[in-house]
Amino acid sequence: MIISSMTIMITLIISFVVMIVAFLVSKKTIMDREKNTPFECGFDPKGSARLPFSLRFFLIAVIFLIFDVEITLLLPLATILKLVNVFSWLTTGLFFILILLLGLYHEWNQGALDWAD
């Protein structure tokens, strides 16, 4: 019991020391105009360095990630086919695909997939 409490104390002390050192080292000490501006071959920038953010591209990327994760959730259905009842396997798979298709239809109906607008 005394070894585990001693180990916990040492771990906490080392963690706090590392956090304090990282906090002190990561501080920027010099904040001037040249360090805050973007670098363009030594000249002052002609325009804003921030490009306009395409919200439509962001929405398409998020939709892609959601459907990509859902495909990884569908992959185990193929491996458990021999382990479970075929009716329950088919019901679960079709229900999950139906939910995906309803979500895709909703996104399509809302116009989130129209890139040309």
pLDDT tens sequence across 40-90: 566 665 666 666 777 778 878 888 888 888 888 888 888 888 888 889 888
Q: Which range, of 2-16, 32-46, 65-79, 91-105, averages the lowest pLDDT? A: 32-46
How far apart CA 17 and CA 11 sit, in angstroms, is 10
As a residue count, the chain comes to 117
Q: Give the model's pLDDT for residue 12.
A: 92
pTM confidence score:
0.47
For the chain, give the mean pLDDT.
79
Backbone angles phi, psi at 50, to 5 degrees: -85, 120
What is the per-residue burial (b if ≥16 Cβ within 10 Å, else e) of 54-91?
eeeeeeeeeeeeeeeeeeeeeeeeeeeeeeeeeeebee
Query: Which residue's entry shows tokens 């395409």?
Result: 54
Average pLDDT (82-107) is 88
